[in-house]
Structure 1
Amino acid sequence: MQKAYSILLSLTLGLALLVIVLGAYTRLSDAGLGCPDWPGCYGHLAVPEAVDGAQFQRPLETGKAWKEMIHRYAAGTLGMLILGIWVFSVWFRRRLVGGVLMPSLLLGTVLFQAALGMWTVTHLLSPPIVTAHLLGGFTTLALVWWLWLNQHRPRFSTLYHQLTTVRGLALGALLLLIGQILLGGWTSTHYAAVACGVEFPLCHGEWWPASDFRSAFVFDWQPGTNYEFGTLDNPARTAIHLMHRLGALLVFVYLGGLALWLISKRSVLFGSVPYVLLLVLFIQVSLGISNVVFALPLVVATLHTLGAALLLLTVLALNHGLYPARVSSARV
């Protein structure tokens, strides 16, 4: 029974990661409104060959519509797998490690995530909705990963009383990374990734160009407004971009310093996690810089989202290993 549950978690974890990548690819290829209705596409379960122009004002772009629908199919399949995890955890709760609280939280998250997916379309890519949808995807991935770690990941040490400092630093890393992921989502939904042109580390030839921070972080929604390709003026987009750069610098210094400090301890308690953290961090920063200097290539930008997901998984693995497992009477 435990083995079957582990296989289900592994499949769900892989699909959750794929859904995040597909979502990023859909958004970055400007296909977020490829289907102007939900959950179907122009009233069909698949992309139709033609649409009624009187019923749908947005003309059919087949390529974009298929990108959107493939993402929806994958997300729907993920939802079914997560429902399976919840049913499995409830039905066999006396025989599985852990309880039903986290699977229930996961199911609730994916249901709310489906609503956010609908609102993303009906609210015409409203930045707060799209950013929340992105965060929901990362939250889903994180919860599945935590459940997977509960089944597979050995704890770092039994001397937990000696790890108080590391626990605090690891939690700080997680909170800082979540904040940066939110900034990244806000940057993407406002189409601010190239607000500084292709200059790095300068922006418009300056270290700190004219920026409109007052307009950059307004969390409102105007009914009927189409937010595709953004509505902010460039000074506001520049402000968003600069904040994302500063956040990236802070994350790089903090997470890089934490990884190097853990490596310097020469302890087997943390396994390969600090080395993986350092590697993924350098790759992620390199992808971010490449997004700027190469004017946001689709492949690089999509990989940047994947890098953020892998960085989150690594930091979560570090946090997970710093706490003792719950005493369980589960039978395998």
Structure 2
Amino acid sequence: MSADDRRRAVVRGLALAIAALSLLVVAVSAYLRLDAAGVGCADWPACYAQILSGEPAPLHYGAARLLHRIAATAALLLAIVLVWRCLRPSPLPAARYAVLLLLLMLALSGLGFLSADPRRALVGFLNIVGGLGLVSFAWRTALAAQQEAAPASAPGCRLLTLGGGALTAAVLLGAWIGATYSAAACPSLPGCDGGSLAAGWQALNPLLQPAAPALPGDAGAAALHLLHRAFALLALLLLGAAAWRALRRPERRPAALALAALLVLVFVMGLAAVASGLGLWLIVGHGVAAAALLAALATLQRRMA
């Protein structure tokens, strides 16, 4: 093995370790946020989002929060080493993802100082999306260290691009639903009572500071759920079709199978979460699986040569 190959192997190992730590951070963050919001509480949904009333409560440093801090700190330290290994003595193709990963970590660290007040919906939204971004950038760094980027073939690439756009929209809407404490607004399947697109646009106001949770009957929050579900279904169809096409090529088959399996898992967990009355661990699992799905999408994109 040449020195360059050894260097790439080290970079890939560091990136995979950061991806695993970031996935842990996503899971623990989701648990802390949802548990504080009262998801799964006994008097549901009346007990939901009681933290919005009154002044923000001081943080309690239990085992879960301590685990979150340790994992986040370890990931940050590894990211610094990763960037150094990517840039010296000469930049690797993975360097751009590594630098973006480190910058995102630093931005999220700064954002943490604004996260104490749960009424800052935009801050909560950026924290959720940023956590998913950590997993994605770390995974893309590992992929870039493994092989050079390859041009994508036209048919599969178009489906992946369109499906990736739909998936991104679904993820962003899901994050906004969580950040605005709108999870309880649509407890039924497949639709929501009283939802309207016009009200949904108003509910997307980035300056929104919710004073109370959105409960069933809230037209704006219900519209957010409808949009989230519509984009999720569109992503399932488009990415499922792309994975089906990719199965024809042996070198793409593992990535296609992983993408298809995670698509089904995320979709089923979302349905199960609603059907169960928003079980805490189902929602946490739904978010973690979504992060893994974004990584699987990146893998198949690189295999579409």
Structure 2 length normalisation: TM-score?
0.81
Q: Counterparts of 1:227 and 1:30 in 2: how far apart (Å)? A: 15
Which residue of structure 2 lines up, in the alignment, with residue 287 of structure 1?
Answer: 269
Contact 1:256-1:278 within 8 A present in 2 as well: yes
Q: 174, 193, 197: which one pairs with 1:184?
A: 174
Contact 2:259-2:297 within 8 A present in 1 as well: yes
* SS of residue in 2 equivalent to 1:178: helix
Distance 1:100 1:307, change over 3 A: closer
Q: 103, 107, 111: which one pairs with 1:112?
A: 107
Q: Counterparts of 1:219 and 1:262 in 2: how far apart (Å)? A: 38
Q: 61, 75, 86: which one pairs with 2:72?
A: 75
Which residue of structure 2 lines up, in the alignment, with residue 37 of structure 1?
Answer: none
Distance 1:102 1:203, change over 3 A: closer
Contact 2:186-2:216 within 8 A present in 1 as well: no
Residues 1:147 and 2:141 are matched in the alignment:
yes
Distance 1:118 1:230, change over 3 A: farther
Q: 192, 195, 198: which one pairs with 2:185?
A: 195
* SS of residue in 2 equivalent to 1:201: coil
Q: Deviation per CA, 1:114-162, whole angstroms, max 9, x where unpaired?
A: 12222222x534222211122222222111111111233587xx8x58x
Which residue of structure 2 lines up, in the alignment, with residue 101 of structure 1?
Answer: 96
Distance 1:12 1:90, change over 3 A: same
Q: Counterpart of 1:203 in structure 2: which amino acid?
A: C
Which residue of structure 2 lines up, in the alignment, with residue 271 of structure 1?
Answer: 253
Distance 1:228 1:28, change over 3 A: farther
Q: Counterparts of 1:166 and 1:87 in 2: how far apart (Å)? A: 35
Q: Counterparts of 2:174 and 2:275 in 1: how far apart (Å)? A: 17
Which residue of structure 2 lines up, in the alignment, with residue 250 of structure 1?
Answer: 234
Q: 156, 159, 166: which one pairs with 1:166?
A: 156
Q: State which structure, 1 or 2, has the greater radius of gyration over its C-alpha atoms.
A: 1
* SS of residue in 2 equivalent to 1:292: helix
Contact 2:16-2:142 within 8 A present in 1 as well: yes
Which residue of structure 2 lines up, in the alignment, with residue 127 of structure 1?
Answer: 121
Q: Counterpart of 1:200 in structure 2: which amino acid?
A: L
- Greater shift after overlay, 185-194 or 283-292? 185-194
Once the two structures are TM-superposed, the CA of residue 90 in structure 1 deviates from its matched residue by: 2.7
Q: Deviation per CA, 1:77-105, whole angstroms, max 9, x where unpaired?
A: 211111111122233436xx426333222
| RMSD across aligned positions (CA) | 2.9
Contact 1:127-1:227 within 8 A present in 2 as well: no
Once the two structures are TM-superposed, the CA of residue 14 in structure 1 deviates from its matched residue by: 0.9
Q: Counterpart of 1:191 in structure 2: which amino acid?
A: Y
Larger helix proportion of the pair: 2
Contact 1:93-1:99 within 8 A present in 2 as well: no
Equivalences, count: 282
Q: Counterparts of 2:238 and 2:217 in 1: how far apart (Å)? A: 32
* SS of residue in 1 equivalent to 2:33: helix
Which residue of structure 1 lines up, in the alignment, with residue 32 of structure 2?
Answer: 26
Which residue of structure 2 lines up, in the alignment, with residue 312 of structure 1?
Answer: 294
Which residue of structure 2 lines up, in the alignment, with residue 260 of structure 1?
Answer: 244
Distance 1:244 1:221, change over 3 A: closer
Which residue of structure 1 lines up, in the alignment, with residue 47 of structure 2?
Answer: none
Which residue of structure 1 lines up, in the alignment, with residue 202 of structure 2?
Answer: 215
- Greater shift after overlay, 144-153 or 17-26? 144-153
Q: Counterparts of 1:20 and 1:282 in 2: how far apart (Å)? A: 20
Q: Counterpart of 2:243 in structure 1: which amino acid?
A: A
Contact 1:126-1:227 within 8 A present in 2 as well: no
Q: Give aligned-pair identity as a percent.
A: 23
Q: 76, 84, 94: which one pairs with 1:87?
A: 84
Once the two structures are TM-superposed, the CA of residue 175 in structure 1 deviates from its matched residue by: 2.1
* SS of residue in 2 equivalent to 1:29: helix
Distance 1:18 1:153, change over 3 A: farther
Q: Counterpart of 1:167 in structure 2: which amino acid?
A: C
Q: Counterparts of 2:12 and 2:241 in 1: how far apart (Å)? A: 34
Q: Counterpart of 1:10 in structure 2: which amino acid?
A: L
Q: Counterparts of 1:260 and 1:99 in 2: how far apart (Å)? A: 29
Distance 1:29 1:145, change over 3 A: same
